[in-house]
């Protein structure tokens, strides 16, 4: 019998408890042992829940109980998740989490502590919800020379952008709809400002490069600046707008970023709609693979968490353990990142735009002057925009092309 404790009885914690209980025969057959949910830690009581008798409010009961083998941390946030995880690993208990914030900030420390204690630290559910992506990257893809990992890592923003494209909604209307459907929080900042996707690309970058880049060193833009006019311009030239997390491994260093990108409508990531997520990994000799599925929600996230539990029970530490550190990070200067860019400005003319950018592709001239630049570095694009602003131009939009 293996005893587990669940920290946090919200949407994901409830989903984990339900999955272990409803599918107990399958879960036990796979894990090879009976599983007992011994404790559920939460600040609240749940008198009407079938798990009411397991709810405790004092973490020391759990961490000091020698019968508890595995702790599932699904509280979210950095604190006290950080302190609880450190205490659990030091007490010789394996830890599983879906909490991308704590992994992105402290994952290196947790892996080192787990190694020292001879226990496991797993976080498959932290990226892509129910999509098995982290384990396949480290066990099936890592032997490639990986050149890029990129993905649609946030379901809420993908839902909003999909609505802006398919129904012509404004950003505000699409956000209200996402809130009404329970995808976006009442305070949607972490999703719409790109913070959530930034944490996820930090984790993916760590897996493929071995470097855990601090999130404040990852260039992060959300979707609040994407306008309906940009959606129409993109559509007119066969492009779609998606919020992408990208990590490119180049000779000069690692470029890690989150930003809206315009991509061809027939690109695999362009077909990922609604709250779905997808992660594409490119490298040699594999070329490119894509992982696709539901990126959030109680059931899919619980599936990934319980998958980690099965792996711990079945294999102990005999599985591919991710290795990454915060040392010697090697982040390239974002000013050197090269791409084509969609730009929309007012108060400019074709001649002055071409004098700043060189040969452009004009896509709209009514009201705003919208064009696509040649491939340039970020620093060159910044300088060209500044030049036009200095001549009375006003920037309305800037979205990079994939
Ligand atoms: N807010 C996140 C999203 C939840 O919308 O993708 C899953 O991490």
pLDDT tens for the chain, 402 residues long, are 999 999 999 999 999 999 999 988 888 888 888 999 999 999 999 999 999 999 999 999 999 999 999 999 999 999 999 999 999 999 999 999 999 999 999 999 999 999 999 999 999 999 999 999 999 999 989 899 999 999 999 999 999 999 999 889 999 999 999 888 878 777 899 999 999 999 999 999 999 999 999 999 999 999 999 999 999 999 999 999 999 999 999 999 999 999 999 999 999 999 999 999 999 999 999 999 999 999 988 999 999 999 999 999 988 777 778 899 997 779 999 999 999 999 999 999 999 999 999 999 999 999 999 999 999 999 999 999 999 999 999 999 999 999
The radius of gyration of the chain from alpha carbons, rounded to an integer in Å, stands at: 23
Q: Is there a contact between 219 and 226 (Cβ–Cβ < 8 Å)? A: no
Q: Is 296 in the pocket of ligand 1 (CB under 6 A)?
A: yes
- 304's enclosing H/E stretch is helix 298-315
Q: 395 pairs with which residues across the strands?
A: 345
Ligand 1 mean position, distance from CA 294 (Å): 10
Of 127, 91, 118, nearest in space to 199 by CA: 127
- 130's enclosing H/E stretch is none
Q: Is there a contact between 244 and 158 (Cβ–Cβ < 8 Å)? A: no
Ligand 1 mean position, distance from CA 196 (Å): 7
- 225's enclosing H/E stretch is none
326: left (phi over 0), alpha (psi -120 to 50) or beta: alpha
Domains observed in the chain: 2-130+299-320 (3.40.50.720), 134-294 (3.30.360.10), 335-401 (3.30.70.3220)
Mutating to test ligand 1, I would choose from 100, 131, 151, 154 the residue with most ligand atoms within 8 A of its C-beta, which is 154
The Cα-based distances of 390 to 98, 290, 312, 352, 386 in angstroms read 47, 43, 60, 11, 6
The catalytic residue positions are 200
Nearest CA, atom 8, ligand 1? 296
Ligand 1 mean position, distance from CA 352 (Å): 43
Q: Which atom of ligand 1 is nearest to the CA of 183?
A: 5
Q: Is 101 in the pocket of ligand 1 (CB under 6 A)?
A: no
Q: Is 191 in the pocket of ligand 1 (CB under 6 A)?
A: yes
Q: Is 294 in the pocket of ligand 1 (CB under 6 A)?
A: no
Question: How many residues does this entry show for the chain?
Answer: 402
Ligand 1 mean position, distance from CA 127 (Å): 9
Q: Is 156 in the pocket of ligand 1 (CB under 6 A)?
A: yes
């Amino acid at each position: 019998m293996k005893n587990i404790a669940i920290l946090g009885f919200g949407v994901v914690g409830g989903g984990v408890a339900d999955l272990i209980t409803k599918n107990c025969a399958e879960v036990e057959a796979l894990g090879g042992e009976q599983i007992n949910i011994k404790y559920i830690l939460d600040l609240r009581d749940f008198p009407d829940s079938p798990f009411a008798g397991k709810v405790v409010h004092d973490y020391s009961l759990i961490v000091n109980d020698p019968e508890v083998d595995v702790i599932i941390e699904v509280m979210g946030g950095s604190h006290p998740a950080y302190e609880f995880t450190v205490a659990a690993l030091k007490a010789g208990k394996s830890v599983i989490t879906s909490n991308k914030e704590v992994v992105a900030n402290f994952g290196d420390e947790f892996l080192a502590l787990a190694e020292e204690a001879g226990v496991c630290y797993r976080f498959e559910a932290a990226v892509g919800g129910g999509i098995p992506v982290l384990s396949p990257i480290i066990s099936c893809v890592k032997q490639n020379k990986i050149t890029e990992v990129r993905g649609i890592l946030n379901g809420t923003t993908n839902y909003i952008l999909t609505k802006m494209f398919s129904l012509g909604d404004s950003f505000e209307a699409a956000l209200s709809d996402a809130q009404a459907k329970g995808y976006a929080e009442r305070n949607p900042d972490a999703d719409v400002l790109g913070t959530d996707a930034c944490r996820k690309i930090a984790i993916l970058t760590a897996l493929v490069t071995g470097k855990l880049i601090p999130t404040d060193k990852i260039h992060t833009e959300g979707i609040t600046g994407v306008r309906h006019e940009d959606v129409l311009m993109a559509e007119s030239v066969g492009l779609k707008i998606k919020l992408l997390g990208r990590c490119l491994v180049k000779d000069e260093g690692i470029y890690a970023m989150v930003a809206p990108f315009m991509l061809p409508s027939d690109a695999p990531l362009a077909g990922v709609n609604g709250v779905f997520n997808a992660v594409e990994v490119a490298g040699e000799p594999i070329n490119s693979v894509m992982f696709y599925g539901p990126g959030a929600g109680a059931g899919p996230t619980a599936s990934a968490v319980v998958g980690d539990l099965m792996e711990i029970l079945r294999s102990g530490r005999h599985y591919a353990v991710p290795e990454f550190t915060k040392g010697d990070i090697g982040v390239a200067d974002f000013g050197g990142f090269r791409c084509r860019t969609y730009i929309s400005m007012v108060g400019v003319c074709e001649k002055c735009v071409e004098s700043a950018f060189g040969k452009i592709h004009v896509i709209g001239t009514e009201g705003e002057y919208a064009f696509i630049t040649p491939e340039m570095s970020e620093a060159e694009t910044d300088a060209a925009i500044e030049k036009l602003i200095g001549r009375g131009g006003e920037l309305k939009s800037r979205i990079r092309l994939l």
